[in-house]
């Protein structure tokens, strides 16, 4: 029996990278896991892997920017598993890259639909049930870009800082309930998103230094370690041990026990 036994987790962007690592770890800890993304083939691969390992998973194709698609997906999860106890909003895109006045506006806004609209819609879909049942936790996979100014990465930086504020706003509004929200930086792994960045002509033009650093880490075996560290961070937050930190944004080097002690000291 894992520490998440009896809970249903919904993980978006679960077909690869951090989303897959989180989903598989949640399943290993006993959660039944709903896997959401646009690519059903990738999700079915993860579903089989979890099933082969003795876990329970359900692959659900979903457009995370469309309210009807999300509501259909959540209803499918509720029918196939049970109401959602844990939500991990992980889907993201790296671009577009370049100066504000040069990037295609429709691509820039599409990025915000994925970074901001998707977690907002997901929260709207699952928070009412969580509040009604008196239990639930939401984790948004943000990034260090939320706290820096990075030229030519305006879409990504804007989307990530907005995610953190969305989490903080939700936590404030949920303060008189047992439901909690968190934002995290997952660390760095040369996932498919990183590879897409390296291959992007605009990224090569405007972010040459970053592209070179990504290339250097593609074959670094230690870089894969952040997959496991991110999954563990999500398990820790999902466990309930750190509920008093609801509304906060945490990076992998952050000591949650220390943050919890500081929070309690401030409240004393």
Q: What is the mean pLDDT of the chain?
A: 93
Q: Residue 168 falls within a domain, yes or no?
A: yes
Q: Residue 1 falls within a domain, yes or no?
A: no
- Strand-by-strand arrangement of the 249-250 sheet: 56-61, 32-37, 8-12, 86-89, 137-141, 180-184, 249-250
Tell me: pLDDT of 205 over 90: no
215 has catalytic annotation: no
CATH number, residue 101? 3.40.50.720
pLDDT 10s digits, 218-247: 766 666 789 999 999 999 999 999 999 999
Q: Residue 101 falls within a domain, yes or no?
A: yes
Q: Residue 216 falls within a domain, yes or no?
A: no
Domain of 18, in residue numbers:
8-188+225-263
Q: Residue 166 falls within a domain, yes or no?
A: yes
156 has catalytic annotation: yes
- Sequence-distant (6+) residues with CB within 8 A of 54 are none
Q: Residue 67 falls within a domain, yes or no?
A: yes
pLDDT at 70: 97
Catalytic residue among 89, 154, 160, 250: 160
Name the nearest CA neighbour of 62 among 76, 46, 83.
Answer: 76
pLDDT 10s digits, 60-80: 999 999 999 999 999 999 999
Rounded CA separation 196/215 (Å): 11
Name the nearest CA neighbour of 123 among 171, 178, 185, 61.
Answer: 171
262 pLDDT tier (thresholds 50, 70, 90): very high
User: Into how many domains does the chain fold?
Assistant: 1
Catalytic residue among 51, 69, 89, 142: 142
pLDDT at 214: 72
Q: Residue 109 falls within a domain, yes or no?
A: yes
- Asked if residues 140 and 247 have their Cβ atoms less than 8 Å apart, the reply is no
pLDDT at 268: 81
Catalytic residue among 51, 69, 102, 156: 156
Tell me: pLDDT of 55 over 90: yes
Q: Residue 62 falls within a domain, yes or no?
A: yes
pLDDT 10s digits, 173-191: 999 999 999 999 999 887 7
39 has catalytic annotation: no
pLDDT 10s digits, 145-158: 999 999 999 999 99
Name the pTM for this structure. 0.94
């Amino acid at each position: 029996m894992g520490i998440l036994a009896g809970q249903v987790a919904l993980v978006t962007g679960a077909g690869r990278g951090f989303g897959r690592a989180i989903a598989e770890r949640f399943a290993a800890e006993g959660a039944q896991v709903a896997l959401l993304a646009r690519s059903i083939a990738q999700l079915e691969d993860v579903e089989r892997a979890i099933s082969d390992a003795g876990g329970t998973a359900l692959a659900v194709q979903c457009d995370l920017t469309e309210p009807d698609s999300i509501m259909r997906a959540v209803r499918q999860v509720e029918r196939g598993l049970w109401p959602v106890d844990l939500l991990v909003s992980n889907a993201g895109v790296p671009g577009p890259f370049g100066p504000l006045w040069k990037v295609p506006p429709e691509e820039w806004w599409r990025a915000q639909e994925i970074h901001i609209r998707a977690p907002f819609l997901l929260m709207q879909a699952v928070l009412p049930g969580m509040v009604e049942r008196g239990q639930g936790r939401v984790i948004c996979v943000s990034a260090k870009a939320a706290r820096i100014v990075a030229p030519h990465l305006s879409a990504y930086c804007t989307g990530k800082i907005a995610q953190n504020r969305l989490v903080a706003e939700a936590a404030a509004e949920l303060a008189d309930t047992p439901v909690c929200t968190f934002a995290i930086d997952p660390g760095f792994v040369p996932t498919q998103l990183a590879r897409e960045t390296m291959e992007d002509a605009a990224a090569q033009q405007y972010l040459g230094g970053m592209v070179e650093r990504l290339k250097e880490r593609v074959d670094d075996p230690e870089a894969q370690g952040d997959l496991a560290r991110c999954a563990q961070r999500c398990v820790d937050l999902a466990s309930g041990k750190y509920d008093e930190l609801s509304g906060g944004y945490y990076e992998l080097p952050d000591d949650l026990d220390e943050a919890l002690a500081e929070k309690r000291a401030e409240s004393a």
